Amino acid sequence: MRKLNLLVSIALLAPAAFAQAPATAPAGQGAGKVAVVDLQKAITENSDGKKAQEKFMAEFNKKQKEFEDKQKQLTDSQTKLQTQDKALSDAAKADLAKNIDRLNTDLQRMNDDAQKELGDLQQQLFRPIAEKTQDVLKSYSNENGFAAVFDVSSQANSIIYFQDVADITTEIIRRIDSTPTKPAAAAAPSAAPKTAAPAPAPKN
C-alpha cells in the first residue's frame, strides 16, 4: 500500500542566515571562534517545538488514514477486476475500470491537497519557533564571540569533524525554553513553500 507522499521538511524553516555572518566578539575575547548547532533539533526539541510536532503529526496521521482508506478502495476495485474478469459483463468491467481511474485521480488530488495544507500548517506552527531560535542563536553567538555558527542538521553539510564542546545545540534549546515567546503577528496567507528535500513519512 502506498504512503501519502508528503514532501515537507522542518529544515525548510531554517533560513540560510543561520550560517551566520561574523559576529562581533565581546571585549576581551578573541575573534574567529566557530561553533556548530543542530538547527532542526533546536527548533523541534524545545518545549514549544515538541507541542508543535504533536499538532503537526496528529494532522499528518489523520490525512494518512484518509489516504489509506481511499487506497484500499482502489486496491479492492483492482482486485475485483482481475479476479472476476470472466464473471463480469463488459458493461460491469467498463464501470469498474472507470471507478479505478476516478480513484486514482482522487488519490493524486488528495496527495496534492495534503502537501499544500500540511505545508501551510507547518509554516504556521514552526515559523515563530524558528524565528525565536534565530534570535536566541544570534544573541548567544554575540555573547560568546562566535565568528560563525554552522548548521549540522543537514546531511549535505560539509563539516567532517568538530569537537563536542563546539556543539551549542543543548544550550540553545535551554535558552529558547527560558525566553518568553513573542505574540504571533497577524500575517497574510502565503503560498506553500517549495520543498527541496522530503522528510520520510512515518512508518506504520
> Which region among 100-109, 116-125, 160-169 has the lowest average model confidence (pLDDT)?
160-169
Asked whether the predicted pLDDT for residue 79 surpasses 90, the reply is yes
Position of cell 561553533? 35
Boundaries of every domain in the chain: 11-178
Question: Which is more confident, 12 or 82?
Answer: 82
Beta bridge partners of 33: 146
For residue 194, pLDDT beyond 70 = no
Phi/psi-derived region of residue 29, left when phi > 0, alpha when psi is between -120 and 50, beta in every other case: beta
Q: How many CB atoms lie within 10 A of CB 99?
A: 16
Contact call for residues 10 and 40 (beta carbons, < 8 A) = yes
Q: Per-residue pLDDT for 198 more than 60?
A: no
* DSSP notation for the chain: -PPP-----GGGGS-GGGSPPPPPPPTTS-S-EEEEE-HHHHHHSSHHHHHHHHHHHHHHHHHHHHHHHHHHHHHHHHHHHHHSTTTS-HHHHHHHHHHHHHHHHHHHHHHHHHHHHHHHHHHHHHHHHHHHHHHHHHHHHHHHTEEEEEE--STT-------GGGB-HHHHHHHHHHSPPPPPPP----PPPP-SSPPPPPP-
Tens of pLDDT, residues 132-183: 999 999 999 999 989 888 888 876 667 767 766 688 999 999 999 998 877 6
- Quick one: what percent of the chain has pLDDT higher than 90? 52
Q: What is the average pLDDT across 111-135?
A: 92
pLDDT category at 185 given cuts 50, 70, 90 is low
pTM above 0.75, yes or no: no
Neighbours of 144 (CB within 10 A): 16
Check: CB of residue 24 under 8 Å from CB of residue 138: no
Residue 96 has pLDDT above 60, yes or no: yes
In whole angstroms, give the CA distance from residue 6 to residue 2: 12
